[in-house]
Chains A and B, each alone.
Chain A
Amino acid sequence: MLGRLWGRLRALLRRGEMDRELEEELRYHLERQTEQNLRDGMTPGEARRAALRAFGGVEQARELCREARGVWMIQDVWQDLRYGARKLRKSPGFTLVAVLTLALGIGANTAIFSVVNAVLLRPLPFDQPEQLVRVFGTSARRGNFSRPHSFLNFSDLRDQSRTFESMAAYTGATAALSGADAPEQIPGVIASGDIFRVLRVRPLLGRLLTREDERPGGSPAVVISHGLWRRRYGGDPQVVGRTIRLDGREREVVGVTPADFSFEFVTGAADFWMPIDPTASAFQQRGAIFLEAIGRLKPGVSVGEAGADLGVVSSRLEQQYQDSNTGVGVRLAPAQEELVGDVRPTLLVLLGAVGFVLLIACANVANLLLARSAGRHREIAVRSALGARRGRIVRQLLTESVLLAFAGGLLGLLFAVWGVKLLSAFVPENVPRFGETSMDLRVLGFTLAASVLTGLLFGIAPALQSSRFDFNEALKEGGRGGTEGRGRTRVRGLLIVTEVALSLVLLVGAGLLIKSFAKLRNTDPGFDASNTLTASLSLASVRYDTDEKIADFFRLLVERVRQLPGVESVGAVTPLPLSGNNYSFSFTVAGQPPLPPGQRQSASARFVTPDYFRAQRIPLRAGRAFTEQDKAGAPGAIIVNEAFARRYLPGVEPLGQRLSLGVNNIEGEVVGVVGDIRGGSLATTPAPEYYVPEAVAAFTDVTLVVRTTVDPASVAPALRQVVSEMDKDQPLYDVRTMDALLARSVARQRFSMALIGVFAVLAMLLSAVGIFSVMSSLVAQRSHEIGIRLALGAQPRDILSMVVRHGLWLTLVGVAVGLAAAGALTRLMSGMLYQVSATDPFIYGGITALLAAVALLACYVPARRATKVDPLTALRYE
């Protein structure tokens, strides 16, 4: 085997010699034949000619001998490559257009694929990531939707499971970091002790949290991120052991996480890691559900087995704690799937869309090749006369296309690098793992494969077309280049149909997304987002340790902010609509029969200051708003929204109903009804909500809502000033306008709409160019015929309509195919649509008209040129 390989290599190296030997061998044969013919009495000339004739094609025999040997394959490929490169160099215009078109297509595909690769394909950057699973709670009463755990439930699951190597609970948090620099609100994670054991992360410095940190009273240990360490502590290697102040409490830095560690299961980058305090009151109630859980399976355990295992534990808990756990179960999901699951459909639709663009680019290049092959007829005829068989010619033409595609792919890689940079400027912040996007081997492999496939795809039809021809025809046509064969015209027509169909699908997709985005943006959120600035702050519970202190601080703050110039009204709310936070608490209505366990009602709660409704312009429908008198100690007042009244107080006058809430034992009377808002997202219908005075609940985390008469962003510095005057260690964070928040809440929809829109426009332009070039060359080839028609009395109008009709006919066939395909394919993206049907007739009709208009334009220009044909010039060529 090895010897054979060596033989081949040697043969390859001494191929000149082998060529000479083959030459000599065949010459020897011819000479013997000639000698024999001479002996038979022929003249020398005759004898030589007869010998050649008897041989039956010396060139063909030579080719066949070459092909008989494997090494010639390699040599042929090399030869084809050099020949192809030379050919391409000779027509730089064609090459440039083709390479650019392909680079655009392959580049866009590589860019999108590199995102898909980073987000969906690459395993999570943890040790044996396939063992990581997310553990969710479920509640039968809420349609088994996922929900967090209470600490007690989590700790029972952790202790009683037999299929997990380790399990940890965590929740995102923010904390005020104060010290020498300006106070700063930093994001972080509060987690049970095993979190780093589950993730198998090793510290960069010091140690990470362990189970020992999960101790009664809370451990003062804190782990900080690499980013915070560099930014705030200048990468000080002595940082371990240092004391820092978080939310006014002293904490000891015990370690730093490595640079490449990121934990995307909470929103925002985590800069600190604090252990939970299992004895804190929130951790002692089974009804307080706020912890997410992640676990590492024991080796060889499947997700299904682990699910069954935890299912047994949770049904045991259901028996044991009927009050809190009736209907509560668990759901397991592979961690990666869970993290990226909801962006998967969008990314796949994008990948499909960009694939269509590449297909259209292919069709255009195939078109160019076909146009060019008309001029190469003679070259091919000559080559085949010189002994090249059809397969050999096809191979040569395909080599040329693949070469072209490689050039396109190489340039496309550059485009892709640039494209990913561009994408990262626009990508919504909540796309997980996008930051990991990079050009790795898989992306390069994808580009390579895409290039080869592209080359074969756009090359095969023209290659087969050009190599199939009648010898005599081709040579007879001589230097005049010949007319288009029927076959070629048919292929080019087919290309137009394909391009139009593909563009139509993309345009319809883009149209649907644009329409649903417009609908989304026009959806009334139930509040007025214009001229509103929001800013959050969290009071450190160390210093603000009584309800009075908290209430006083916020009352004073609101009062002072209202005095600022340009401020119209000020309110505070927890949680802010569209912020992504949602607090849901149970409640009971006085006088209604008690509900069985597991069916208790709950609704979203917001804690607000009196002027909040005015600041957000949420309309009051009945009763009154809160006043300064609605504070702790006063008769409890509660406001509900209309959805709440409809759902939970049907058929009764809401005002005057008494509710008792499952939070801080608040009881009260409904004093007002306000309009509904879309607090979760613009796309979800308003949920039942109730409002409680902030002064009663005394929450330490609130968001200020400041309605201004001037540009809201311009008030921010004054706002910071007020807070800092009241407490110099108190940071203000998430300062942004409500408009920005609204925009952020639809950022993903905007992103996919914009990208698909760009792809669709690109597709349409490429198709228009395709139609234009096909019609132009058809007109050029038919100029002789058109000249005759004109000479015989046809009007320019007739010629115009003849050409336009031809182009429009092809377009309409494409539209028909495209409409059918769009009807089938857009169903895949129905999850991305909002209040728009995937078969919206307006979009389909509008896009059809648009495409027809573009096609008309692309046909019109060449058609006009056709009418300008001078019959005399056209006929003189005869």
Chain B
Amino acid sequence: MSPQKKSDLLKQGTLELLILRLLRPGPLNGWDIMQRIQLVSGEVLSVTPGALYPALHRLEERRLISAVWGASENNRRAKFYGLTPAGRKQLEAERETWERFAGAVAAILRDA
């Protein structure tokens, strides 16, 4: 499966939820976020920059994350995104919903 196809598995809302979760510990830039999604999910989930950056801009537009320009690890100028208080709240709300949903699905699969 090519990376392009795999990213289809990540629906828009899911991708945004993932981004919010990844930003909880602290600000990251786009490149880092992409690496982390692949790292954390053990290469199961993959996302293309073509999907990631629009998602970041959407979140910024909705004031769930905010961006600052800072120095990256190799000392170059990069755009870092961090959670806003509204983003934090949104993350909690969505995570609950997601867990309830995932729990329910898991329970059904277990029983079946």
Contact = CB atoms under 8 A, between A and B. Distances in A.
Interface of A: 4, 21, 24-26, 28-29, 31-33, 54-58, 60-61, 64-65, 67-70
B84 interface: no
Contact of A61 (B3, B34, B49): B49
B49 A56 contact: yes
Given A56-B49, A61-B49, A28 B54 contact: no
Given A61-B54, A69-B60, 20 more contacts: A4-B63, A25-B30, A25-B53, A25-B78, A25-B79, A28-B77, A28-B79, A29-B30, A29-B31, A29-B49, A56-B50, A56-B51, A57-B50, A60-B50, A61-B49, A67-B54, A68-B54, A68-B55, A68-B58, A68-B61
A55 B48 contact: yes
Contacts of A28: 29-31, 72, 76-79
A68 B3 contact: no
B57 interface: yes
A24 B77 contact: yes
B90 interface: no
B8 to A, nearest CB: 12
A808 B63 CA distance: 61
B38 to A, nearest CB: 12
A55 B49 contact: yes
Contacts of A26: 49, 53
A56 B4 contact: yes
B57 A65 contact: yes
A148 B69 CA distance: 86
Contacts of B77: 24, 28
A89 B42 CA distance: 56
Contacts of B30: 25, 28-29
7 contacts: A24-B77, A25-B79, A26-B49, A26-B53, A28-B72, A28-B77, A56-B4
Nearest to A62: B53
Contacts of A56: 3-4, 48-51
A56 B8 CA distance: 13
Interface string B71-95: 0100011110000000000000000
Contact of A54 (B3, B29, B55, B58): B3
Contacts of B53: 25-26, 29, 61, 64-65
Interface string B1-45: 001100000000000000000000000011100100000000000
Interface size class for chain B? 20 to 34
A787 B7 CA distance: 52
Where chain A touches its partner, the secondary structure class is helix
10 smallest CB-CB distances across A and B, nearest first, come from A64-B54, A68-B57, A56-B50, A61-B50, A68-B58, A56-B48, A65-B57, A32-B31, A25-B79, A55-B49
Where chain B touches its partner, the secondary structure class is helix
A31 B53 CA distance: 15
Given A28-B79, A68-B61, A55 B50 contact: yes
A69 B76 contact: no
Nearest to B61: A69
Contact of B48 (A54, A65, A70): A54
A21 B49 CA distance: 16
A57 B50 CA distance: 7
B54 A65 contact: yes
B50 to A, nearest CB: 4
Nearest to A51: B49
B34 to A, nearest CB: 8
A17 to B, nearest CB: 12
B63 to A, nearest CB: 8
Contacts of B60: 68-69
B50 A70 contact: no
Nearest to B7: A56
Nearest to A7: B63
A858 to B, nearest CB: 51
Nearest to A71: B61
A478 to B, nearest CB: 29
Nearest to A66: B57
B57 A21 contact: no
Contacts of B78: 25, 28
A70 B29 CA distance: 23
A58 B50 CA distance: 7
A461 B58 CA distance: 32
A26 B29 CA distance: 11
Contacts of A61: 49-50, 53-54
B4 A70 contact: no
Contacts of A67: 54
A21 B79 contact: yes
B4 to A, nearest CB: 6
Nearest to B34: A29
B50 A69 contact: no
Contacts of A65: 53-54, 57
Contacts of B63: 4
Contact of B61 (A57, A58, A60, A70): A70
B45 to A, nearest CB: 16
A25 B72 CA distance: 12
B68 to A, nearest CB: 11
A779 to B, nearest CB: 46
Contacts of B79: 21, 24-25, 28
Contacts of B34: 29
Contacts of A58: 50
Nearest to B32: A32
A56 B48 CA distance: 7
B107 to A, nearest CB: 36
B57 to A, nearest CB: 4
